[in-house]
């Protein structure tokens, strides 16, 4: 199967036993090496003025750019106007309704922004940046030195005001990739080790010691690439029922195929969980070693939420996207592990361990007869789905204060994205990547989202129905080498984070903090309000606040409220702290994305 996969993605540089490799275009090893070499070179803490123009900010301020306004403000020549008009049209349309010919000739709204920038003089570029995003004055403007309007002494622009430093007394871990707390345990943390299958408990974070509470190494088996022990969540009534849930990769009964498995375990009275206490709930056969999701967490409603990737490979080639009546992939599910009165049995499916959970009756596609304008059989729908159209929703979190569900969806060719997930949301993959139309690189010019190189052949019914709209990201950033000049937001693999609710750094209160695994950039997205459909009802600002590569997960210190990260590269759990000597920053070299 791996061989087939490699054939299917001929431009993949090498087979990587590495984690979170997002695009199968760039080798992560060289990237990480470059990142390490560039440690003295920091990225500027300059938010992307232009990212708003490509729809990165979905708030009310992100309106269409007017040619008339640009003409006046930039004093455009007639030649410039003629060249810019169609490019502006492309940006403002967001590619939702462009023709195949337009897509083929212009490529993307990002390319359009770059093309406009290339047409402008330096002075015009500055003006264009300011107009494209009025929330961010152009570099050297009002942001400089005076803080960022958060109240208090905000750090100066063009510095990285925070650092990620070892926490937990410098304890080391083997490829740590999840950190969670358990209800009723105010001092403890649980950490997953990806490949040796250990669930580690730190009984008291103020006196950190490792205690292995479950060894799942015998079951997780195949560990290549993004496989392994991936996520953990404790039941809200954990103190009474001692139940917790794991999401991991394993083998099916005869060992012939890899599965993504959701299973329940019971913690024993001795503080250890017996692997034999396992009760699987879902075992989804997964043919590709990447894009296995996923985060696992109970929501404020007490239901269990779980995110799944698109099975893997690239381009959505396993044909699990934009479907609700096939397998458990490319979305987020919401299930009732307590089988409350009124919840419904799931529709039968080979992946479902019958009787182990039910489906909340208000899940968005319960009883659905259509999806994306096409008929579906309600008896065959995966009623477990809460949201769809996700590529590899690796990490996400509920903000306990606002209830908003923040998710980072890993991109493929060009763009990483932050989403606010809501029930019934469709986040676009693989018709969209970030805030652009997604056109398969080997298939440009056509509108089918399918790769022509992997059987079965594309289903003609899967051409995007005209007029179909998707939930757009809250924030996006480009892969290296693709951003317009001056946009220093970059990376290859987003790690969704958490909303900062600690006390040590008041300037970050209520900010959504997330990172890119590859570039190491860590961002703070300002507090927002949103409607029930995840649409922002307030302005948002995003800025780079620190840099640390290898971050695969975020959590909160249960005692201090500090922001913690799992650094899979360093084998450490780290803490975000104020940088006593903010470092001047410049753009750091990264390998260009090998996109068309
Ligand atoms: Ca997979
Ligand atoms: Ca999307």
What range does the domain containing 123 cover?
A: 67-132
pLDDT bucket at 112, cuts 50 / 70 / 90: low
The bound ligand whose nearest atom lies closest to the alpha carbon of 393 is: 2
**pLDDT band at residue 589 using 50, 70 and 90 as cut-offs:** very low
User: Would 453 be classed as within a structural domain?
Assistant: yes
Using pLDDT thresholds of 50, 70 and 90, give the confidence band for residue 452: very low
pLDDT of residue 74: 87
358 and 213 share one domain = yes
The kind and range of the H/E element at 200 are: strand 198-202
* pLDDT at residue 455 greater than cutoff 60: no
Across the beta sheet with 229-234, what order do the strands follow?
229-234, 243-251, 258-266, 279-285
**pLDDT on residue 527:** 95
Each residue's pLDDT tens digit, 184-202: 999 999 999 999 999 999 9
How much of the chain exceeds pLDDT 70, in percent?
A: 72
Shared-domain flag, residues 230 and 303: yes
Q: For residue 224, give the ligand nearest its CA.
A: 1
**Taking Cα atoms as reference points, which of 434, 429, 410, 426 lies closest to residue 51?**
434
* pLDDT (tens digit per residue) in 500-534: 999 999 999 999 999 999 989 999 999 999 988 88
Residue 56: band (very low, low, confident or very high) from pLDDT cuts 50, 70, 90: very low
User: 213 and 120, same structural domain?
Assistant: no
**356 lies in some domain:** yes
Tell whether 229 is covered by a domain: yes
**25 located within any domain:** no
Q: Are residues 205 and 323 in the same domain?
A: yes
Say how many Å lie between the CA of residue 429 and the centre of ligand 2: 5
CA of 262 to the centre of ligand 1 (A): 14
Provide the 3-class DSSP secondary structure of residue 228: coil
49 domain residue, yes or no: no
Distance in Å, CA 528 to ligand 2 centroid:
19
Strand ranges in 339-458 using DSSP code E only, listed in sequence order: 370-371, 374-375, 385-388, 393-398, 405-409, 415-421, 425-426, 432-433, 436-437
**What's the 590 CA to ligand 1 centre distance in angstroms?**
27
- Say yes or no to pLDDT of 223 above 70: yes
What is the per-residue pLDDT for 532? 83
User: If you measure from the C-alpha of residue 365 to the centroid of ligand 2, how many angstroms do you get, rounded to a whole number?
Assistant: 19
**What is the pLDDT at residue 583?**
63
**pLDDT tier for residue 59 given thresholds of 50, 70 and 90:** very low
Query: Can you tell me the mean pLDDT for 60-65?
Result: 38
Any idea of the CA torsion for 72, 74, 80, 84, to the nearest 10 degrees? -90
What percent of the chain is predicted at pLDDT more than 90? 54
Which ligand minimizes its atom distance to the CA of 436?
2
Is 20 domain-assigned? no
Whether residue 462 is found in the same domain as residue 356: yes
Query: Within a domain: residue 118?
Result: yes
| pLDDT of 125 over the 90 cut | no
pLDDT, residue 14, reads 25
- Return the residue matching tokens 């003629």: 82
Verify that 90 and 177 share a domain, yes or no.
no
Confirm if 411 and 322 have CB atoms less than 8 A apart: no
Mean pLDDT value of segment 314-326 = 88
Return the minimum-mean-pLDDT range out of 133-147, 356-370, 414-428.
133-147
Average pLDDT over residues 486-494: 89
When divided into structural domains, the chain yields a total of 2
d(CA 286, ligand 1 centre) in Å: 5
The CATH number for 326's domain is: 2.120.10.30
The mean per-residue pLDDT over the stretch 53-71 comes to 48
Q: What is the pLDDT of residue 48?
A: 30
- Tell me the average pLDDT of the chain: 78
115 and 214 together in one domain: no
Cα 165 to ligand 2 centroid, rounded to whole Å: 32
Tell which residue, 567, 569, 406, 547, has the closest CA to residue 488.
547
**Shared domain check, 425 and 321:** yes
pLDDT digits (tens, 9 = 90+) for 204-214: 999 999 999 99
Q: How far apart are CA 117 and CA 163, in angstroms?
A: 33
Please compute the mean of the pLDDT values over residues 361-381 and round it to a whole number: 95
445 and 324, same domain (yes or no): yes
- Better-predicted residue by pLDDT, 11 or 306: 306
Residues 572-591 have a mean pLDDT of 72
Lowest mean pLDDT among 247-251, 266-270, 375-379, 546-550: 546-550
Reply yes or no on whether the pLDDT at 340 is more than 80: yes
User: Would the pLDDT of 10 be above 80?
Assistant: no
Q: Of 54-63, 172-181, 235-244, 329-338, where does mean pLDDT reach its minimum?
A: 54-63
User: Where is the domain boundary, 132, 148, 182?
Assistant: 132
Q: What is the pLDDT of residues 254-292, one digit of tens each?
A: 888 899 999 999 999 999 999 999 999 999 999 888 899
Torsion (CA) 324, 328, 332, 334 in degrees, nearest 10? 90
Q: Is pLDDT above 50 for 483?
A: yes
Proximal ligand: closest to the CA of 21: 1
Q: How far is the centre of ligand 2, averaged over its atoms, from the C-alpha of 513 (Å)?
A: 19
Q: How far is the CA of 176 from the centre of ligand 1 (A)?
A: 20
- 332 C-alpha to ligand 1 centroid (Å): 15
User: Which ligand approaches the C-alpha of residue 55 most closely?
Assistant: 2
pLDDT for 585: 53
Distance 114 CA to ligand 1 centre (A): 34
Residue 380 lies in a domain: yes
pLDDT in tens, 21-41: 333 332 232 232 223 222 222
* 353 in the same domain as 229: yes
Q: Please give the model's pTM, rounded to 2 decimal places.
A: 0.75
| Centre of ligand 1 from the C-alpha of residue 444, in Å | 25
Question: Nearest bound ligand to CA 308?
Answer: 1
Q: Relative to the alpha carbon of 394, which ligand is closest?
A: 1
> Are residues 213 and 83 part of one domain?
no
Same-domain status, 421 and 516: yes
């Amino acid at each position: 199967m791996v061989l087939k996969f490699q054939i299917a993605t001929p431009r993949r540089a090498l087979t990587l036993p590495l984690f979170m490799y997002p695009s199968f275009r760039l080798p992560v090893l060289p990237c990480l090496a470059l990142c390490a070499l560039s440690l003295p070179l920091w990225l500027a803490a300059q938010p992307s003025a232009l990212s708003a123009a490509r729809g990165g900010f979905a708030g009310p301020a992100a309106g269409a750019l007017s040619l008339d306004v640009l003409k006046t403000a930039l004093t455009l020549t007639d030649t410039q106007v003629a060249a810019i008009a169609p490019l502006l049209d492309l940006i403002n349309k967001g590619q939702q309704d462009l023709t195949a010919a337009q897509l083929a000739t212009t490529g993307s709204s990002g390319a359009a922004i770059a093309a406009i920038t290339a047409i402008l003089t330096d002075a015009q570029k500055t003006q264009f940046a300011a107009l494209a995003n009025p929330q961010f004055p152009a570099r050297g403007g009002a942001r400089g030195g005076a803080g960022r309007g958060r109240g208090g002494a905000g750090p100066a622009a063009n510095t990285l005001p925070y650092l990620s430093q070892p926490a937990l007394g410098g304890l080391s871990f083997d490829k740590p990739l999840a950190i969670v707390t358990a209800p009723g345990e105010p001092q403890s943390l649980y950490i997953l080790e990806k490949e040796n299958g250990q669930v580690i408990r730190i009984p008291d974070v103020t006196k950190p010691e490792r205690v292995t509470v479950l060894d799942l190494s015998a079951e997780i088996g195949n560990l290549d690439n993004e496989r392994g022990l991936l996520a953990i969540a404790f039941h809200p009534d954990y103190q009474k029922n001692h139940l917790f849930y794991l999401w991991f990769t394993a083998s099916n009964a005869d060992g012939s195929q890899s599965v993504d498995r959701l299973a329940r375990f019971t913690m024993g009275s001795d503080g250890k969980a017996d692997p034999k206490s396992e009760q699987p709930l879902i075992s989804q056969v997964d043919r590709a070693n990447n894009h296995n999701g996923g985060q696992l967490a109970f929501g404020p409603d007490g239901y269990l939420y779980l995110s799944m990737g698109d099975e893997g490979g690239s381009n959505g080639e396993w044909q699990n996207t934009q479907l609700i009546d096939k397998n458990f992939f490319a979305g987020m599910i919401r299930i009732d592990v307590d089988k409350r009165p009124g919840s419904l049995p799931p529709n039968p499916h080979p992946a479902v361990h019958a009787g182990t959970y039910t489906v909340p009756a208000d899940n968005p596609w319960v009883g659905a007869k259509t999806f994306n304008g096409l008929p579906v059989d309600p008896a065959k729908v995966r009623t477990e789905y809460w949201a769809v159209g996700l590529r590899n929703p690796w990490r996400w979190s509920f903000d306990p204060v606002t209830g908003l569900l923040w998710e980072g969806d890993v991109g493929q060719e060009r763009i990483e994205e932050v989403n606010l997930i809501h029930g019934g949301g469709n986040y676009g993959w693989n018709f969209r990547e970030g805030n652009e139309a997604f056109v398969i690189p080997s298939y440009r010019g056509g509108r089918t989202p399918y790769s022509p190189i992997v059987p079965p052949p594309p289903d003609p019914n899967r051409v995007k129905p005209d007029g179909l709209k998707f939930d757009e990201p809250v924030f996006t950033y480009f892969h290296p080498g693709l951003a317009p000049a001056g946009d220093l937001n970059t990376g290859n693999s987003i790690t969704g984070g958490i909303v900062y609710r600690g006390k040590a750094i008041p300037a970050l209160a209520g900010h959504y903090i997330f990172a890119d695994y590859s570039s190491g950039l860590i961002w703070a997205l300002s507090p927002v309000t949103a409607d029930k459909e995840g649409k922002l009802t307030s302005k948002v600002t995003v800025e780079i606040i620190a840099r640390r590569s290898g971050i695969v997960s975020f959590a909160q210190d249960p005692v201090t409220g500090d922001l913690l990260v799992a650094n899979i590269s360093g084998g450490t759990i780290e803490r975000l702290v104020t940088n006593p000597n903010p470092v001047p920053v410049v753009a750091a070299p990264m390998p260009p994305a090998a996109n068309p």
